[in-house]
Amino acid sequence: MFRLPVSKIDDLFGTIASSRTLYLPVDGNDGRAKYDKWSEGTKMSDKLNTVRSAKSFFFPQTTNICDFNVNGANVEVVDIREESEDFVVFGVRACDARSFTILDKVFLAEPVDSYYATRREHGTVVTMACSEPEENCFCNVFGIDAAAPEGDATCWIADGYLYITSNNEKGEKFVESISALLEETDDSAVKAQQETIHGIVEKLPFGKVSTDHFRKNTLLEIFNSEKWEKLSESCLGCGTCTFVCPTCQCYDIKDFDTGHGIKRYRTWDSCMYADFTKMAHGNSRNAQMQRFRQRFMHKLVYFPDNNNGEFGCVGCGRCLSRCPISMNIIKVIKEFGEE
């Protein structure tokens, strides 16, 4: 365990940025936190969570996959990828850190998504414990510890110091790169803060929500439940929940004619949209209820069924705060839990 005074945190950021690109949460013009590139004078936000998750560092909203040069009947495929720069994402919360392991199961499974894999290889994730979890948080429901987030290295701020420890080989290299600023210390202050955080989590309104119903009942029983109609009747299908979600991984691929060739892009998509996966014969989910059901079945049933019981939600609370009609995964879990 190492530490440095919080008063020297700008020196820390400068040292990190001297050898790689540094991103951290900053306050935007609207008062909400977002990730941005650090430069001298940039201040880290003290807000708990960013509006969007850190997912986009590894799975960007838009990715240029390749180009095509077309000359009559001849088509040349151009691989436009370059080696990614080394970068550090600093201040990632426990929920977002867990989302990376969920995305890894999707994009690093065979066949490996090389675009995602390259970013994961070049990125270092430095997490920050949640000193004051908010009332919309429920990460503990999915076995996530807000006081001890995963990541390559983990930080805590307590008693005027920033404490840091490494969790793997990449984290050890990161800590070594900033070792000139650090002093070795024990973990007593961190343990005290962890106890305080656990006490806060115990009192959160959604911290004791049970997912047992989705473990005890069969896929078809849940899928055919009459509750989906009632739950989905007010859904607008706006897709906001999917775009702020750290674990949603749906995307579409489109080609654009630039006048000089074709560019192929991958862009985020949403299972809540009426034209999602639409094919020549139409759409397999024509009703909003079916699309609504698909989203939550994937998080709570399909994904855990295929990943040793791990749910596809990390309890970040973003869908609770951003849904315009206040319909979210907590309401779905509680509605089915009443059975």
pLDDT tens string for the chain (339 positions)?
A: 999 999 999 999 999 999 999 999 999 888 899 999 999 999 999 898 999 999 999 999 999 999 998 888 888 899 888 777 899 999 999 999 999 999 999 999 999 999 999 999 999 999 999 998 999 999 999 999 999 999 999 999 999 999 999 999 999 999 999 999 999 999 999 999 999 999 999 999 998 999 999 988 899 999 999 999 999 998 998 999 999 999 999 999 999 998 888 999 999 999 898 888 776 666 677 788 999 999 999 999 999 999 999 999 999 999 999 999 988 899 999 999 865
Q: Answer for the pair 327, 249: CB distance below 8 angstroms, yes or no.
A: no
Residues belonging to the chain: 339
How far apart CA 79 and CA 67 sit, in angstroms, is 7
Q: What is the pTM of this model?
A: 0.92
- List CB contacts of 319: < 8 A, sequence separation 6 or more: 240, 241, 244, 245, 328, 329
Place of tokens 């489109």: 254
